[in-house]
Structure 1
Amino acid sequence: CPQCQSTVKKKDLRRIYCRALQVLDTSERDNAIRERDLEKKSRKKIAYEKAELQLAYDILKDQLKRLQNEHDRLLK
């Protein structure tokens, strides 16, 4: 027994019957959950690609500044 923690005998158990049993179609819900998960995955992938491209952009930007400074130094 969950309340008193005593052991239960088989004769103590009673069957409980449901008067009205309804079947629900959860296919729309399942499809929505599946689409949500796919969207999350694609957003993570895009965010990762964005971070990679931002890093590459920053590196190229720094390299451009360095080369411009070197160019200006050589012209003087």
Structure 2
Amino acid sequence: MENVKTIASIKRHIENHIGEKVTLKANGGRKKILVNNGIIESAHPSIFVVRLDNDIPRTVTYSYSDVLTNTVQLYFAM
């Protein structure tokens, strides 16, 4: 994701990409990095929802502060 500095601008950026494919890199703790592909399903006031493209369909939620602190990194498909 580009150099987005505030939670409000992160929220606007994610809202502009609802329904698009995204690659997530999340910190799983203890030096684990979880990489998943999915689609941004919805954006709410404090969280956004991503439907993962795995064998078992499931959704995960992240807060905008996770993106701000680089706990979660988003890479949008071009």
TM-score tier after normalising by the smaller chain length: under 0.3
* Greater per-residue strand proportion: 2
TM-score, with structure 1 as normaliser: 0.18
TM-score, with structure 2 as normaliser: 0.18
By relative contact order (CA 8 Å, sep 6+), the higher-ranking structure is 2
* Greater per-residue helix proportion: 1
